[in-house]
Copies of this chain bind each other. A is one copy, B any other.
Amino acid sequence: MSADAGPRVYQDMTWEEISAAAAADLPVAIPIGATEQHGRHLPVCTDWVLPQRVLCEAARLRDFVVGPFVPFGYRSRPGSGGGQHFPGTISLRATTFMSVLEDILSELKRGGFNNIVLYNWHFENTGFVYEPAFLVSERHPGLKVVVVEDVFPEFTSERRNILWPDGFPGLALEHAAVIETSLWMYHDESAVRTDRMAPDAPQRVVNHDVLPIDTRMSTASGSLSSPMGASAEVGKLLTEWLVERVVAIIDEEFG
């Protein structure tokens, strides 16, 4: 972090500034998301903008680069992201997604970075983030990659009571619901179409998947549980908890 200039954000830096950060052996943390429907009230960029905001907050506390973000993710699934039948969602095939990450990792290593965090916001990317990290790591013994496929902090019962006073829907169903709506309210309230917010819930919640898509496992709105409990205050709290975890990981792995 350059004290007066705010967090180091990869995209806004010149090559010399990036090169200096790499030479100083700073970590670089890559926000990984998706372009995916987020209900009637949130924009499709939710999954790649929110992790950037969180990392930028964390970058005020520890000196690392908020790396190049990945705006496309693996296919949306009904029980966690609404499913591939929604217009607006733009997903990559598994092979494409993994190739993109493989190339980004190789290029960052070429540019001098030895410490990389993959910070993934989109649930469906799980596994597909690990594989490219594994492949690139095998080729570059000097490289350390930290794979954070699930960015959420531990939700203790105390925290659950704050976030979901009416009962915890399960993290998978927290799509376009309390967490993401609150974070947007805190970070950029103009993104939230509050007049389009409404409770919703899947008709069918099971622990398996079906193809062709069984739309009863998703919802009509795209929110998998109710966003009505969202607030900027909760967004602030969530940001603190998320940042706390980022900082802890950075300290543990690169301290």
Chain A interfacial positions (CB closer than 8 Å to B): 10-16, 18-19, 22, 35, 37-45, 49, 68-69, 71-72, 74-75, 77, 84, 86-96, 98-100, 102-104, 107-108, 110-112, 124, 126-128, 130-131, 133-135, 137, 141, 143-150, 154, 191, 193, 196, 206-212, 222, 249, 252-253
The quantity of this chain's copies bound in the complex is: 6
A141 smallest CB distance to B (angstroms) = 7
Residue of B38, B89, B93, B147 near A99 (CB, 8 A) is B93
Cβ B88 vs Cβ A94 within 8 A? no
Partner of A87, one of B18, B38, B92: B18
Instruction: Determine chain A's interface SS by DSSP, over half rule.
Output: mixed
- Other-chain contact of A88, B14, B91, B196 (Cβ < 8 Å): B14
Determine if B210 and A147 form an interchain contact, defined as CB atoms under 8 angstroms apart: yes
B residues in contact with A130, CB < 8 Å: 75, 77, 209
Residues on the B chain within 8 Å of A126, using CB: 126-127
Q: Which residues of B contact A84 (CB under 8 A)?
A: 110, 134
In the bound complex, how far is the Cα of B91 from the Cα of A189, in angstroms? 34
Known: A90-B107, A128-B94, A134-B84. A43 touches B209 (CB 8 A): no
In the complex the two chains form, what is the Cα distance from A156 to B39 in whole Å? 32
